[in-house]
Structure 1
């Protein structure tokens, strides 16, 4: 029996007529509704016609998290007076509860993505609601792009709703083809803000580490909130580990302490969402409780102000979650939990001044995450570079390039970026492409069951108490009775079933992508690497299986020992193990999980398996190199025959007669690193370079740019044939750089002959001396004794530019500087004359220097002559 009283109390009901009109007229809409208005529960029921108003339509609701999908389905079923699995059901990874009468199905965005790849038309689905789109998860953005493609090419009648409490409504409206924005006003209860920063400085988070002192402060704020306020307390923390530590710090409080997160058992999640049974509760939650879910009884929110976001270090091949400051939008979303049922309060563990400096919205995942899985989905859709997809933010080119390299290496795409049959199979496993490769190829090496077991461990990192030895963690999970072990066993069953499906498809059973993006009939080409159906072959030991599968997943992370507890990964990054790790004496490791602490050049290994050299070489075969290696190292040319695995040198011997072309390349590399100072620059060569630099600056072409960057970019042009004869650093120093630079003069146009005219090396002054001009500064400089310029009325010029005259005393010391000699004779000379004539009485100091003949001699010597 429908609970009409509960449905009638949901404020979103007032926005339903406008939403229906928007969908009837435009086929798409953006729904903005505050938390608690019924956006997630009433809207799907009404659009499906289950409330007795309108035709029955099949509605799919996409949620970002499994806990939200299950909770939303159960809440909607309750509103209809039913159990989930009837007219309302749900599907999440590893769990499906639907029936023949299901009209509203709640799924995770990952499940919907897989469904779209299998059935691009979404046959039988009339409306898709993308809930909590403001969170900007990559799967949700990808689903929206695919659905818009479907509407444009296959099913213009498919209706789309982007729903959220806090979002970029205008951006989503533009993305959906200028769709109408429908707003619902909620019954919002006032939420008082209490600023509760730590009393003393705490260390900022880095990686996944949060200062224990700060977590102790959060626990203290929870205790304060329990003392000052009524009702349950909902505390937001960045991750599962922090929730566990704060729970330990709250031992003894007069309240039931619960933890809710994506890894919590379903029974615990259901208990939290069911509401208090007796006494008060403290619910320690990760971001899963920010939206979609109502936690009954909550009157107080304690917000740590921290969140976890994905980050990837492409250079080191490391990707992980990292702790960041939560955005203002996230803060508003969290605070709203306190005012869903009654007036409440939010305790924010930072000060008010800091709040204004926070980011407005969370970082879109597409801008910061590893894009290998996204790139594979796009390739299977028929749009390898994602250029044809409607996305709020385009994927960064660098991240897409790195993703393409990974996909090519695992055989998921061909040289043109198109999905191979193997890549299509991998995309349907519901795994990151790296783990898909490890599952398919690992099954052939260690057996399907063992491969599934290890991949399930790699897909969700085991708890820290399982240790850093992957094989030992495997054995612990097998016998474990904790929540992680239960989830692990469920995932092993799912992966084993997926392998059975792949076995049934054979090598080429996946077929070509057929999405609407696959325009022009661009078919598949190439097998994309080994793709035989996996079988349950000889498994070997757990240790061997763990090492093999981990190395297949992360070949650039195979690492060789280089000291007690220290390793070098094939990627070139150093790695270290904690004291006491059983892996410290292993000669080779396959590193599964690692992070790099702030300001550290080496990674910290958190999960790895022992491998032998043969396994490492086989798994990372694409990184293997054997041949001549001639490069610039330690300040000179190094030539050697080398065999290496990425950055790991396996064998080295010196080369007696290296390839001249490689030597030449190494010398150019050295010049690029250390600059043109490696060459032999005489005084005349430096002067010539300065003159050419002046002419290029003043006159431009055809006079060449002779800056370091320009010379290095044209090194092959002006340094031949000297460069071809050089073999080492000492040979570079013997090259006459001045003679080589002359090759850059504009000989072809005849302008080269005007070099001495336009930028003379020396200028003759009235005394008859030929004085060198210095061209190194912004203005040419002529340094000359003052008496040698008597009688010269105008400043000398070169290339039309007046020189800067440094007037020297008879002893050669600076007396005055001028770029206007005539003005100096009139106004400045008198003061200089008064200062110098007492010091140098034997030299002429006429009152009118313009009318006196210039001289290089003293007055006494002049009389004798």
Structure 2
């Protein structure tokens, strides 16, 4: 045991303590292990202390969340009776509290990934503990995969421990162990029981989705909190999906502030505000109601909590790969997460959980939530893999492989940014982007925009985009930027300035030693205040107003989200990526000709995206920001019912300038006319009776003879139009020219010579009847061609004629002298015997001038009536 032993200095007896000897034995033997310990057992607190007693070097514990990292460090330091920064410290983005005596350091998983990139050997580190690895955040998956490979190839002496609150650990044991699964050590459950109380709303509420949570559910949560305060002692922890719902519930509980402390807990708060919710209440009898997001599900102990009220919802990211738009979707909580939440009530004593849903609904919940890798934007993830030297992730100890479609989109984005080459390998520029510690899009905006707008303003805007909630209410990005400069919200401003300083330090100096802003040694805070006071918001660097500077930076990050108004003064826009977008009603940005959209989301099935945060800009700045999307092309196509030939300049999907082409290419015109035919149909051609008749005769031959005869259906004719209409299309220039096409001659091009020679024989246009008349055959129904002829002209005809080489009888429509059908038959002999006598008796008195012989088979056919008697 080391002379600085820490676990022996801690007398706290938690359920995990009896499992620690077995854990250390497993680590001694295998160097890697999995610790399964339910919430409240003390794994986050005591396991690091035990490991620190047995290894040389620092123990690094990786937590998925900043608030959990700070809380874990503070708790261990309290147990040792020390300040944070002595033997126990922490490091999160923008904040680090460690000292020369620090042996245990709690970091975020993202920070551990950064350190592994910087030096995968992790010099000075003796053990890495990955806490809450079951949460399956992207950084957590990467930290696991990179640490496993670093240990296997560079640091076989490094201890690696994965800690999880769920018993489903076989996958992690296999990943950590390599050829043989790592040993799994299990701790007993928390000692205190938690009683479940099912408390569904009295009336159905709208299901969760991309929109706001149903107000009726929030009202029910408020009522349940009031009930919990009446029925049980102790503090109450309320789980809600997001900061907006927390504010809504807090407002509804405002009348309790005289007797109850209402404490929000979410990721948008500054550290001091989060820490306040995690400190024990003062001993004055006042109870606390902590309103939290999923932040408090794991790793955190909220002291004094005896009751949990769970709204049953969680907020998760979703990415629309086709449009590049992300959204936060509200979903029902998983059963595993509900169990974790309930466990918060039993950490210190027996407790209660009020679940705002029914027991039957609980059984239908998913067993566990989806891992982030399955639903999130993978651009940053793909860059991390490329920087590690494994662009596709194959061979790494990833719990799940990344989805192929999302990775393809991510690699395309990185290649566009110049961060990877065509094979997916990282470039020098990609390493610079990766070193920024921000999303690759934001890092690109920072690096490429600093020289144009100044390093200070670039860092300020990118920090705002990275911490979007810091801008406060409203959709005007620049208004939020100015609020932060003015320090209206001290907490948000402090977080923002910390991130500004970090990003400002990332920017490289030019060869003269001057920064990208042209200054040497200026502080971001002073620069921000100075820029905010300039007349009209115009900064000296770059000569751009704040609006345009912000718009340029947003456009560099999201060039596909630059948007132009559809109608002057309106709120509907078209983005360069082709997605329609709208401002919310009453937005002060409405009517801006151009917007750089920083945040937008689109509900599934919605016709357009909703703009959440944007800034106005002008066309020149839009062109500058999205230069690669700018194109000028000659376009000949079919539009609004005719051929349109023009030269068009576009920014992505947005048309900027167009001029008419006087001499378009003939082949392109022909292709446009063909497109018009396919869109609007063959009705664009002049179908004369002769043309329709020829088409019907050809269809008859195909129907009754064989498939070697051409198909003249609409789809087939449109598909073969380049063949049978080729010369006519080549000669035409506009829609009107199609109306002069000789369709009959064009159709005959479809007939081989042998078929053309036999067409009149097999499908005659007319048939001579006994009277000598040549009567047209109607082929409208290819299955039954019709010959409509007056009855008197068929006398002496023993049978209906047959066509198609004798295969098909013609269907006779026998007409009265007035031209009305009297009978329809293909069996003329039978008609003469049975049908004609009745017809004769009915009509000879009506038409006395026409012959009605008793024996029509021997009568003389005639087309004329007898002359009238004078």
Deviations 1:645-684 (A, max 9, x none): 2222222222222234444554565566567887789667
Which residue in the other structure is 1:339 paired with?
346
After TM superposition, the structure 1 = structure 2 runs for residues 701-740 of structure 1, keeping only pairs within 5 Å, are 724-725=730-731, 727-728=733-734
- Find the counterpart in structure 1 of residue 295 from structure 2: 288
| Displacement of 1:88 | 2.6
- More deviation, 62-71/158-167: 158-167
Q: Who is 2:210 aligned against?
A: 207
User: In structure 1, what is the Cα distance between the partners aligned to 2:128 and 2:809?
Assistant: 76
Deviations 1:193-233 (A, max 9, x none): 22222223434444352233322221111111111222211
3-state SS of paired residue (1:60): strand
Question: Structure 2 CA distance, aligned partners of 1:93 and 1:506?
Answer: 26
Q: How does 1:129-140 map to 2 (within 5 A)?
A: 129-140=129-140
Tell me which residue corresponds to 1:275: 280
What corresponds to 1:624 in structure 2? 630
The equivalences for 1:249-260 within 5 A come to 249-253=252-256, 254-260=259-265
Tell me which moved more, 483-492 or 586-595.
586-595
Task: Give yes or no for the alignment of 1:554 onto 2:558.
Answer: yes
Contact 1:588 1:612 in 2 (8 A): yes
SS in 1 for 2:146: helix
Q: Secondary structure at the match of 2:150?
A: helix
2:333 to 318, 326, 329: 326
**Relative to 1, partners in 2 of residues 1:734 and 1:497: Cα closer, same or farther, differing over 3 Å?**
same
Distance 1:391 1:663, change over 3 A: farther
CA distance in 2, matches of 1:705, 1:862: 40
What number of residue pairs does the alignment pair up?
Answer: 788
Matched, 1:360 2:360: no
From the superposition, tell whether residues 616 and 55 of structure 1 become closer, same or farther in structure 2 (CA, over 3 Å).
Answer: closer
**Residue in 2 that maps onto 1:605:** 611
Q: Which moved more, 1:673-682 or 1:647-656?
A: 673-682
1-structure distance, mates of 2:757, 2:173:
65
Q: Give me the TM-score of the superposition, normalised by structure 2.
A: 0.77
Residues 86-110 of structure 1: per-residue CA shift (max 9 Å, x gap):
3332211001122333333221111
CA distance change for structure 1 residues 197 and 379 in 2, over 3 Å: closer, same or farther?
same
Q: Superposed, which structure 2 residues align to 1:822-841 within 5 Å?
A: none
Matching of residues 5-20 of structure 1 within 5 Å: 9-20=13-24
Q: Distance in 2 between matches of 1:414 and 1:505?
A: 30
The reply on whether 1:451 has 2:461 as its aligned counterpart is no
Q: Secondary structure at 1:356's aligned position in 2?
A: helix
| In 2: Cα distance, 1:739 partner to 1:101 partner | 97
- Residue of structure 2 equivalent to 1:179: 181
Contact map agreement 2:470 2:493 (CA 8 A) in 1: no
Q: Closer, same or farther in 2 for the Cα pair 1:621/1:8, shift >3 Å?
A: same
Deviates more, 1:291-300 or 1:636-645: 636-645
Instruction: Point out the more displaced range, 36-45 or 486-495.
Output: 36-45
Q: 1:445-485: CA deviations, max 9, x gaps?
A: 11111111111111111457553332222221022243111
What is the deviation of 1:619? 0.8
Distance 1:255 1:208 in 2: 31
What secondary structure is seen at the aligned counterpart in 2 of 1:563? Answer: coil
Query: Which stretch of the first structure deviates more once superposed, 366-375 or 377-386?
Result: 377-386
1:218 corresponds, among 221, 225, 239, to: 221
In structure 2, the partner of 1:264 is 269
2:499 to 466, 475, 491: 491
Residues 121, 155 of structure 1: 8 Å contact kept: yes
SS of the residue aligned with 2:468?
coil
* Correspondence 1:376 to 2:378: no
Once structures 1 and 2 are overlaid, which stretch shifts more, 442-451 or 282-291? 442-451
**Structure 1 residue aligned with 2:201:** 198
By how many angstroms is 1:629 displaced?
Answer: 1.9
State the superposition RMSD in angstroms. 4.8
Cα separation, 2, equivalents of 1:383 and 1:229: 54
Contact 2:198 2:359 in 1 (8 A): yes
Distance 1:12 1:703 in 2: 84
1:583 alignment counterpart: 589
Aligned residue number for residue 479 of structure 1: 486
* Between 684-693 and 455-464, the greater mean CA deviation after superposition: 684-693
Residues 734 and 318 of structure 1: is their aligned pair in 2 closer, same or farther, counting only changes over 3 Å? farther
* Number of the residue aligned with 1:351: 358
Between 404-413 and 591-600, report the one with greater CA deviation: 591-600
**Change in 2 beyond 3 A, CA 1:677/1:204:** farther
Query: Which secondary structure does the structure 1 equivalent of 2:462 belong to?
Result: helix
Q: Is the contact between residue 260 and residue 269 of structure 1 (CA under 8 Å) also seen in structure 2?
A: yes
Q: Does 1:861 align with 2:856?
A: yes
Counterparts of 2:197 and 2:479, CA distance in 1: 46
Structure 1 residue 729 displacement after superposition: 5.2
> Which one has a bigger Cα radius of gyration?
2
CA contact (8 A) 2:128 2:159 kept: yes
447-456 or 7-16, which deviates more: 7-16
Give the corresponding residue for 1:639. Answer: 645
Provide, for residues 48-99 of structure 1, a one-character-per-residue CA deviation record: whole Å limited to 9, x for no partner. Answer: 342xxx3435432221110011111222333344333233322110011223
- 1:412 is aligned to 2:419: yes
CA contact (8 A) 1:630 1:658 kept: yes
- Matched with 1:38 is 42
Is the 1:477–1:485 Cα contact (8 Å) retained in structure 2?
yes
Distance 2:254 2:128 in 1: 45
State how far apart, in whole Å, the 2-side matches of 1:398 and 1:858 are. Answer: 83
C-alpha spacing 1:163/1:804, structure 2 compared with 1 (3 Å)? farther
Q: Are the aligned partners of 2:37 and 2:188 in contact in 1 as well (CA < 8 Å)? A: yes
How far does the alpha carbon of each residue in 1:767-817 deviate from its partner, in whole angstroms, 9 at most, with x for none? x999999999xxx889999xxxxxx9xxx999xxx999999999999999x
Segments of 5+ residues of structure 2 without an aligned counterpart are 517-538, 765-769, 789-798, 841-851, 861-870
Task: Quote the offset at 1:547 in angstroms.
Answer: 2.6
CA distance in 2, matches of 1:813, 1:168: 84
